[in-house]
Amino acid sequence: MPERPKRPVITAAHIDGSQKIITVDADAIITPSAHDRAAGLGVSLVRQSQSSTPAKPSTASTKSATSSPPNIEHLVRRIEHTNLSPIATRRHISRLCDEARTIGCAAVCMNPIHVPLAVELCAATQTRVCTVVGFPTGAHHTKVKMEEASRAVGDGASEVDMVANHALLLQDELSAYAADIRCVRQAVGDEITLKVIIEASQLSEEDIVRAALAAEQSGANYVKTSTGMYGQARIEDVQLLRRVLQPATQIKAAGGINDAMFALQLIEAGADRLGMSKTLDVIGGIRSESRVQERRS
């Protein structure tokens, strides 16, 4: 898969208060912290293709924060019903798949050992089988991630959520960070949906942007906010990802999605998929709210 052209990233560190006008590339990504620093110092950010109009955050999004909340069926088709517990048994995974099929979830997500069972139980349905690679730390040798991913696909998984190597990013070894992702992309092939987990809640805005763009340029179909092990999904992270990613690159929010309102807010912020283990509670909450609204009307 060819790499997408790299776009320059403007962070707060690039804003020099001694300059009242700073010219940036036409396609540059300007982080929220850079906008805030520029505004606080009275600095105008002007794109090269413009003469006097200050640069604004990208609005490249297929979502609208003011759009009407999706109906329950529309929401369900965005949910990946998940059980990543280390003590999940065949009985737990069977129940997970039965619930997902019955509700109509987009996918089920479980540890790699359970992929063959999930493939069997979800056969001839619209529910896809997703698994995780390098979970939950991402601090695995790249060859191990490749083997794990290849085996999962061989067992029938159609989607793979890989955990990126966060230490490489924070050590400014961005080429190695991206290479880790590209190797897994090559191991699974172009037909498999690859989601890259960046653990956004543990990163600065600038590092979120760097991680997301590296994932996108390395072949990710989705950028995923977190494993759910070290922090929960945050609306502001989804909004930032939607601003900096190309429209074709999708977003999966995961971690701490336990109620209907939060789920809807994440979708409105730009999430295309939601990974959650409390699916029944979330769906039940939306149905209850719908009944309340019906009675009021």
Residue 49 is predicted with a pLDDT of 57
CA 152/CA 118 separation, integer angstroms: 11
CA 212/CA 244 separation, integer angstroms: 8
Cα–Cα distances (Å) from 247 to 27, 108, 134, 216, 223, in that order, read 14, 25, 27, 11, 12
- Is the model more confident about 293 or about 142? 142
Residue 156 is predicted with a pLDDT of 98
Q: Range of 95's domain?
A: 72-287
Pull the structure tokens for residue 18: 């001694």
Q: Out of 56-70, 97-111, 117-131, 221-235, which region has the weakest mean confidence (pLDDT)?
A: 56-70
Burial 60-95 (b: 16+ CB within 10 A, else e): ebebeeeeebbebeebbebbbbbbbeeebeeeebee
DSSP state, residue 8: -
CA 294/CA 97 separation, integer angstroms: 31
pLDDT band at residue 59 using 50, 70 and 90 as cut-offs: very low
pLDDT band at residue 127 using 50, 70 and 90 as cut-offs: very high
Pull the structure tokens for residue 241: 């990802």
- What residues are labeled active site? 161, 224, 252
Under a CB-based contact definition with an 8 Å cutoff, are residues 198 and 164 in contact?
Answer: yes
50 pLDDT higher than 50 = no
**Same domain? 146 vs 233:** yes
21 pLDDT higher than 50 = yes
108 pLDDT higher than 70 = yes
Q: Out of 25-34, 108-117, 145-154, 190-199, which region has the weakest mean confidence (pLDDT)?
A: 25-34
201 pLDDT higher than 60 = yes
Q: What's the structural domain count of the chain? A: 2
244 pLDDT higher than 90 = yes
Write 6-11 long-range contacts (CB < 8 A, 24+): 6/213, 6/217, 7/213, 9/206, 9/209, 9/210, 9/213, 9/244, 10/34, 10/45, 11/205, 11/206, 11/209
**Same domain? 7 vs 115:** no
Task: Note whether residue 199 is domain-resident.
Answer: yes
The stretch 97-126 carries a mean pLDDT of: 97
Amino acid letter for position 181: I
Task: Note whether residue 67 is domain-resident.
Answer: no
DSSP state, residue 54: B
Residue 228 is predicted with a pLDDT of 94
Task: Note whether residue 24 is domain-resident.
Answer: yes
**Same domain? 24 vs 156:** no
Longest CA–CA span in the chain (Å) reads: 64
**Same domain? 205 vs 138:** yes
The stretch 133-158 carries a mean pLDDT of: 98
Pull the structure tokens for residue 208: 């979120």
